[in-house]
Homo-oligomer: A and B are copies of this chain.
Amino acid sequence: MEFETLLKIVSSLLDKNEFTALRSMLGEINSVDIAEIMEQLEPVKRLRLFRIMSKDMSAEVFAYLEPESQTEIVKMISDRELQGLVNELYIDDAVDFLEEVPANVVTRVLEQATPETRKLINKFMNYPESSAGSIMTIEMVQLRDDMTARDAIESIRRTGLDKETVYTCYCTDAQHTLLGSVPLLHLLLFKEDTLVRDIMEDDAKLISVNTHDDQEDVAAIVKKYDLLSVPVVDNENRLVGIITVDDIVDVIEEEATEDFEKMAKVQHSDEGYLKTGVFSHVRHRIVWLLILMVSATFTGKLIDNFETTLSAVAGLTACIPMLMDTGGNSGNQASTLIIRGLAVGDITPKDYLKIVWKELRVAVICGLILGAVNIGRMFLLSQFSATGSHDIHVFLVVSAAMVFAVIVAKLMGCTLPIGAKLIHLDPALMAGPMLTTIVDLVTLIIYLSLANAFLMPK
């Protein structure tokens, strides 16, 4: 059914107080879609719809709402309802929600949580941002190694898990030390009285991450080994949670977005484009714009210093934008490929020499082609135009400068990101802005020096 139709039906059923029809209809709709419908309703209607749903359904839908709607609902419901909601939410959803809402809402929510939930929430909120701990879930199948397959299945049946959990069970000893993993299916395949420890894949093969590992590293591991989930352990190798691949999907997307932003010289906003206010947008963009504008003072000084040369030879000035753009584009091609290669693990800093050698050859070939085409282009222009240069020496100097600019740009383009990576800085953050400034400057220096040496009347 079309979303708009669905929205209309829900809205009119709400108006007519047709709660039974509404409830059975909601049963047929995915929670993600219900949340989307709720976003479109006015606050009072939204609350009514929220109250119609069963406790677990409303908690699930709540987790998919935007922080603004979550805050509004929390403000409007009674302490008792809030208590039900908080304790029904998955801990990681509760934490996600609490991280986005105003402090007074957080306080009220924590007051209504059971002491146990509160303790868990606090623990989660203390994990460093972007750490494995901050994205893990604690709803998982945890089996003791001395259980039998029968006990294990019975224990799973009892806890009645659902979609938050992938069907890999992790086995621990009595002290919660992680020992190994068992796919649920293996429990079914073995004789009922086989011990879990005899079924499980043991330690050597088991891949786990630490609560303090960076989410980007966790994502790399999950991708490399095609895992559906990975167990998270604390410093004593005790199992504290799992991270499922659907959370990794979000991490991968987030990291790619941050790299896009860094390369476009924009500071990251967690809120998404439309939600970010005008002044936040300005704040996220103005710093780099200012830095780069001020750093362009150097290119300006350079041009000032060569003003005599530029005004003495016709057509020299006109080629400045082309040279700078070509240099910039060449460098940007190299740096983007390297930054992305580093991010997806396709390249490591120890490939540096191979990369430089490759870029050098690519740059020489690209530079020569561009230089040759440029001579043709300038020659053609000179045939059809009175302004601009008609001097073959100018063509040669511009093309020579272009070849050098492309080579410098490509070499800097691969060196800066790898250099940044080596000294543990962010390749995307360091390489982008510095590259522009350096390539601009070097291109101009080469160009103006060549012009000065070969084109000025002796």
**Which B residues lie within 8 Å of A265 (CB)?**
329, 332-333
- A174 contacts B by Cβ under 8 Å: no
- A9 contacts B by Cβ under 8 Å: no
Question: What's the minimum C-beta distance from A149 to chain B, rounded to whole angstroms?
Answer: 12
- A116 contacts B by Cβ under 8 Å: no
In the bound complex, do residue B329 and residue A288 qualify as a contact, i.e. CB atoms below 8 Å apart? yes
Of A192-200, A231-239, A380-388, the segment with at least 4 beta carbons within 8 Å of chain B is A380-388
- A391 contacts B by Cβ under 8 Å: no
**Which B residues lie within 8 Å of A351 (CB)?**
274
**Which B residues lie within 8 Å of A223 (CB)?**
249-250, 253
**Which B residues lie within 8 Å of A102 (CB)?**
none
Question: What's the minimum C-beta distance from A198 to chain B, rounded to whole angstroms?
Answer: 15
- A457 contacts B by Cβ under 8 Å: no
In the bound complex, do residue A377 and residue B273 qualify as a contact, i.e. CB atoms below 8 Å apart? no
Interface residues on chain A, number (Cβ under 8 Å) = 117
In the bound complex, do residue B278 and residue A365 qualify as a contact, i.e. CB atoms below 8 Å apart? yes
In the bound complex, do residue B249 and residue A222 qualify as a contact, i.e. CB atoms below 8 Å apart? yes
- A318 contacts B by Cβ under 8 Å: yes
Given A278-B361, A337-B261: A189 touches B157 (CB 8 Å cut-off) = yes
**Which B residues lie within 8 Å of A317 (CB)?**
303, 307, 310, 317, 320
- A301 contacts B by Cβ under 8 Å: yes
Q: Is the interface of A mostly helix, strand, loop or mixed?
A: helix
Beta-carbon nearest neighbor of A244 in chain B: B228
In the bound complex, do residue B366 and residue A289 qualify as a contact, i.e. CB atoms below 8 Å apart? yes
Beta-carbon nearest neighbor of A271 in chain B: B346
In the bound complex, do residue A228 and residue B245 qualify as a contact, i.e. CB atoms below 8 Å apart? yes
Cross-interface CB contact of A253 among B252, B272, B355, B385, cutoff 8 Å: B252
In the bound complex, do residue B373 and residue A264 qualify as a contact, i.e. CB atoms below 8 Å apart? no
- A77 contacts B by Cβ under 8 Å: no
Bound complex: CA of A227 vs CA of B290, how far in Å? 44
15 A-B pairs besides A153-B188, A252-B252 with CB distance below 8 A are: A30-B205, A30-B207, A160-B185, A160-B189, A163-B226, A166-B167, A184-B185, A265-B332, A285-B366, A288-B329, A289-B329, A289-B330, A293-B370, A301-B318, A321-B440
Interface residues of A (CB under 8 A from B): 28-30, 32, 153, 156-157, 160-163, 166-167, 183-185, 188-189, 204-205, 207, 222-228, 244-246, 248-250, 252-253, 256-257, 259-261, 263-266, 272-274, 278-279, 281-282, 285-286, 288-290, 292-294, 296-297, 299-301, 303-305, 307, 310-311, 314-315, 317-322, 324-326, 329-330, 332-333, 335-341, 344, 346-347, 351, 354-355, 358, 361-362, 365-366, 369-370, 373-374, 377, 381, 385, 387-388, 406, 436, 440, 444
